[in-house]
């Protein structure tokens, strides 16, 4: 049985703690996180830095993957930015597992 409260604490440690990303919910195969944005998260043109967006995506995806009690790490990633996150105060990331297993 997975201790979701402990998993929430672990998901808010290390690098993630410095980004401002916070856990809202982790369930079996599911995660939802948010980040309150400020000047630290902006790129030189004033939109949210792509690295912030990718970090949110990686964090929430990893939470869904680890929600079954296994430790996982990202081995590759890809993101397509459709438009800038301009004038945002908060971003929410939500993930659901679509496949379980190594292959």
What pLDDT score does 73 carry?
80
Question: What pLDDT does residue 7 have?
Answer: 66
Q: Left, alpha or beta for 52 (phi > 0: left; psi -120 to 50: alpha)?
A: alpha
Q: Are the C-beta atoms of 60 and 95 separated by less than 8 Å?
A: yes
pLDDT less than 50: residues of the chain: none
Give the number of other Cβ atoms within 10 Å of residue 34's Cβ: 17
């Amino acid at each position: 049985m997975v201790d979701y409260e402990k998993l929430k604490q672990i998901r808010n440690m290390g690098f993630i703690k410095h980004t401002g990303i916070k856990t809202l919910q982790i369930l079996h195969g599911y995660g939802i996180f948010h980040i309150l944005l400020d000047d630290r998260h902006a790129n030189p043109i004033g939109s949210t830095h792509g690295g912030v967006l990718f970090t949110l995506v990686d964090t929430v995806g990893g939470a869904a993957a680890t929600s079954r009690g296994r430790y996982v790490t990202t081995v590759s990633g890809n993101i397509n930015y459709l438009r800038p996150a301009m004038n945002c105060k908060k971003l929410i990331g939500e993930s659901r597992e679509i496949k379980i297993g190594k292959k």
